[in-house]
A and B are shown apart, each in its own frame.
Chain A
């Protein structure tokens, strides 16, 4: 059972380059999330999608766009990468509205911007 799959696992970009991080889940979850994790700051929500066809801003959305391609896939795009976006990015999914259903996380994408 794959759960939440993120690609790529590692990426190095130059300032100004664009990049799309991919996320797919096979648990038939309605909701999907993108977080970034920086040292000493825990996970911060970038964008989320409560259901197919909807997306909403989280705590730190500036510099990012998302697409909920279908129920399984939720991508995160950096249009013009900046060094401040160097971070580890996690995708997660859950079934909001069902009791006792935590978010399940992918293994993360380590992104470095030079």
Chain B
């Protein structure tokens, strides 16, 4: 059965720390892997990854896909309290997406 597994499930860090969130997957008909940030309401899009080994960056956030290892990481450098959220990994298949359970990140001042 297709599955997407994120680790850790929760993480508490202090401002300024660097964090790495992990996502591994086993799905058929893989099209892309996406990262979303969810604060109080709707998940908001961060990255879409389709090619292995190509890093995508947006400010302090970056992500990379490893198709050989069937995994992806999301890095956040110099964390801020505003980075506190649930980070969701999702794998897009032919017609739908399968989500992981999410990593709850808490950044303390």
Contacts and interface: CB of A to CB of B under 8 A. Distances in A.
Interface of A: 4, 31, 33, 35, 40-45, 48, 50, 56, 58-59, 90, 96, 100, 102-108
A16 B4 CA distance: 33
Nearest to A105: B42
A108 B96 contact: no
Interface residues of B, number: 21
Given A56-B95, A96-B95, A42 B45 contact: no
23 contacts: A4-B42, A31-B95, A33-B96, A40-B9, A40-B101, A42-B6, A42-B100, A42-B101, A43-B88, A45-B96, A45-B98, A48-B95, A56-B95, A58-B96, A59-B98, A90-B43, A100-B48, A102-B45, A102-B48, A103-B34, A105-B42, A105-B43, A106-B42
Interface string B42-72: 1111001010000000000000000000000
A68 to B, nearest CB: 14
A15 B48 CA distance: 40
B97 interface: yes
Contacts of A58: 96
A43 B99 contact: yes
Nearest to A35: B99
